[in-house]
Amino acid sequence: METAAAPTPGPHVLVIPFTAQGHALPLLDFAALLAARGLRLTVATTPANLPLLSPLLATQPAAVRPLTIPFPSHPSLPPGLENTKGCAPESFPVFIHAIASLREPILAWARSQPDPVVAVIADFFCGWAQPLARELGAAGIVFTPSGVLGTAFPHSLFRRLVKRPAGCGDEFGVTFPAIPGQPTYQWREISMMYKWFLESGFEEKVRELVRQNFLWNLQESWAFVSNTLRALEGRYLDAPLEDMGFKRIWAVGPVAPETDPAGTRGGEAAVAAANLSAWLDAFPEGPVVYVCFGSQAVLTPAVAAALAEALERSAVPFVWVVNAGNSGVVPEGFEARAAAAGRGLVVRGWAPQVATLRHAAVGWFMTHCGWNSVLEAAAAGVPMLAWPMTADQFANARLLVDEVRIAVRACAGGFGVAPDPGELAAVLADAVGEKGRHVRARAKELAAEAARAVKEGGSSYADLEGLVQEIRKLS
């Protein structure tokens, strides 16, 4: 009897996440999709971030292995801090600089492997991985947890070194001439990281590495992979963009799983998904507003007070998720009053967001417009109340409100700007009421388009399969 030939092992791919929840989670979701298609993955991580890999290692034990490297010590970071979760936004540049020190141990490991790495897929804050890929003779692929638009903007700024003229205020307009439609954004809407870079907001070696990361992405990479889909950003995928180095962009989103039964994606939830679902079961379809600004946003007491007052004045049912960095800003007595009225719940810490957004009672999502939250809401068919604060969020908000029409503006002031409570209460009441009907309907339409995109025959499915085939050709 003839012995069956052993299956040919898949190509070996190195995956390098950035140590932030909003960056690591979608890249690990994407890694799961690659592993399911027969690629062999090594995922670089640090000891404290290893638990983030647990779902991936559990579902793809034969295809994925971790490469655990001690987190580099850094004078601006306390010992033991290895993830930006709960940190203020200004910590990002420091983390970018710190984890760049992983380059040499990763390079030494890769050179010691009997099976060569054929591709390196790295977060766009790990631009140093692109010349590393070249040294290994591998294809360098930039993974962007943002959409195309949100990725093109910072690359454009660091490439062109746009400056605000002396004497101009935060209303000064910055135009992006290489982006379709040539959009203009006010200076207050420009990423804080870029403004810190211009204003020497951090030490010189950190400043230069931050800029160089973006330049490496443009100059050294083979392609970009974006957690987006054509139904959202087809306008920015139709032709190569100068602000993306004229590189091919593989649009493979949404990459997040449709379900998260345990509610532990990204960390241990502060409330069990079943318990939160049971609380929501008391409401009919659609009136509950889910409020969450992600793991990074830091609310000032004034902002939190305005939000709390608006929620009370609007009388809408709500779930307000308060991250670890904001636990002390909820106004005294607010939580007890909401609970007594039976229409409000405050969750302190990580929440089972995927499951919550898919509960029938949740009809709106008040969000900072971080891209993971945007895609999770879009996939669930939940319209958004856009409250951008920094980074790519202003670009995302404009896309959602003005182009795709699945959101309305809740607050346009940005980080630290408190809205008028009365005006915000009116926005909440209108959204849940008849005035929000058309936006709710459009959100349902987009959810159907997103579901089609990731199934066989869909645009994201085709891009994912095409990318895998290109990687196979490299081995």
For residue 285 the two structure tokens come to 């379809």
Q: Which of 12, 23, 97, 155 is catalytic?
A: 23
Closest of 123, 101, 155 to residue 18, by C-alpha: 123
Q: How far apart are CA 255 and CA 25, in angstroms?
A: 10
The sheet carrying 12-16 orders its strands as 64-68, 40-45, 12-16, 117-123, 139-144, 223-226, 248-251
Three-state secondary structure call for residue 9: coil
Return all residues near 88 (Cβ < 8 A) that are at least 6 apart: 296, 298, 325
For residue 272 the two structure tokens come to 């069990």
* Helices assigned H by DSSP within 326-436: 334-341, 353-357, 371-380, 393-398, 421-432
Three-state secondary structure call for residue 80: coil
Dihedrals phi, psi of 295, to nearest 5 degrees: -90, -5
User: Is 238 among the residues known to form the active site?
Assistant: no
Return all residues near 133 (Cβ < 8 A) that are at least 6 apart: 117, 119, 120, 122, 139, 140, 141, 220, 221, 222
Q: Which of 12, 29, 123, 155 is catalytic?
A: 123
For residue 418 the two structure tokens come to 């408190």
* Helices assigned H by DSSP within 1-147: 21-36, 54-59, 91-99, 103-112, 129-136
Residue 123 is inside which H or E element, if any? Answer: strand 117-123
**8 A C-beta contact, residue 437 and residue 328:** no
User: Is 23 among the residues known to form the active site?
Assistant: yes
Strands (E) across 260-419 are located at 288-292, 318-322, 344-348, 362-367, 384-386, 407-409
* Residues designated catalytic: 23, 123
